[in-house]
Amino acid sequence: MTTPTSAPPGDKAPAAGSGGRRSRLLLGLVVTLVILLGACALSLAVGANALPLGTVWQALTAYDPADPNHLVIVEKRVPRTLIGLTAGLALGVAGAVMQGLVRNPIAEPGLLGVNSGAALFVVVAITLFGVHQVSGYVWFAFLGAAVTGGFVYGVASFGRDGATPVKLVLSGAAVTAAIASVVTAMLLADRTVLDAMRFWQVGSLAARGYPVFWETLPGIVLGLILALAVSGSLNGLALGEDVARGLGYRVGLTRGAGALALVLLCGSATAATGPIAFVGLVIPHVVRRFAGQDHRWVIPYAALAGPVLLLGGDVIGRVVVRPGELQVGVVTALVGGLLFIAVVRQRRRTSR
């Protein structure tokens, strides 16, 4: 977190050609932003009833509550799109931070146990408190993600060297397995809970209103700020912890701030949409092809590319089974898996 006296190679671009590289990276961000705006436009226009972009624009600029098309856009599709934006941003950035924090290219946000913790607390909300609305799940899911993430980090902090990457992964895997068994037992014991839970657990943007967006937005904003704050230090960690300490980085503070950012981002996204796989895993790999290994660029790219994948998957899910709908969690698992296979194959070819 502190500024080192001598910046590592991953933290400082070479002087020669650095201006041209910066211009290309900025241009790439602009292009990604344009693609994201296109995904937002499709999210607002495409659905069981496809609407012209002109109608979408009229609904946003001159809303008429008596017009059923305007009502669908403003009351249904706008909050859905906003939640897709923020959740996609959160998952993409969380994946980049997680992979940098544990120095593992196949790490994904669920390794800290936040998804399983959120699921456990949602089951508790349904079983003990009779909560059956998505808006009611939000605070339980976020609390579960925060408690579980904090517990995993606390367990990993015991012993020598604190919360090392290996201890974080092992602690997260153990806690996730334990929670998964408890959740399964609770679901099997009560068919009503199982029926209510299965729609949240698959991951979806449907039936999410403005309250869900506003309730999860502060956690995502704070998590993004923390992620950007530790981005330079993640470059130092990539060189190894001993080297990072020698260069003046505060490794413990970086781990703590990074873990807090992960809990805020993953907890908020999971609370809003349910657990959605592959976005946090594949997006960092895709953006590194354009942004390189510097986390100060990887994180902004991931913040824009994550919503593109999530909103694009949601649009595909609304089109392929019309007039029904395929949940976005299913689509991102398929599309993200194919993208990840393509990235791995490309890396193998370039490494030969």
Q: Whose CA is closest to 283, among 90, 118, 84?
A: 90
CA-to-CA distance for 212 and 272, rounded, in angstroms? 6
- Identify the band that residue 352 occupies on the pLDDT scale cut at 50, 70 and 90: low
Residue 201's pLDDT band (cuts 50, 70, 90):
confident
Task: Answer for the pair 336, 281: CB distance below 8 angstroms, yes or no.
Answer: yes
The arithmetic mean of pLDDT across residues 25-51, rounded, is 94
* The two structure tokens encoding residue 48: 């069981």
Residue 22 half-sphere exposure toward CB, CA atoms < 13 A: 9
pLDDT tens, residue by residue, 176-196: 999 999 999 988 888 888 877
Q: What percent of the chain has pLDDT over 70?
A: 93
Range among 201-205, 207-211, 308-312 with highest mean pLDDT value: 308-312
Band (pLDDT 50/70/90 cuts) for residue 212 is: very high
pLDDT of 106-159, one tens digit each?
Answer: 778 777 788 899 889 988 998 888 887 777 888 898 899 889 988 988 888 887
Sign of CA dihedral 258, 88, 68, 135: negative
Q: How high is the mean pLDDT of the chain?
A: 87
pLDDT given at position 135:
78
**pLDDT tens-place string over residues 300-336:** 999 999 999 999 999 999 999 888 889 999 999 888 8
Domains of the chain by range and CATH?
A: 29-351 (1.10.3470.10)
User: Exposure of 237 by Cβ count < 10 A (0-12 exposed, 13-18 middle, 19+ buried)?
Assistant: buried
Ranges 170-174, 262-266, 333-337: which has the least confidence: 333-337
pTM: 0.88
Please write the tens of the pLDDT for every residue from 151-169. 988 888 887 777 777 888 8
pLDDT at 13 over 50: no
Query: Are 258 and 230 contacting, i.e. CB atoms less than 8 angstroms apart?
Result: yes
Eight-class DSSP state of 51: -
Tokens of 20: 């041209």
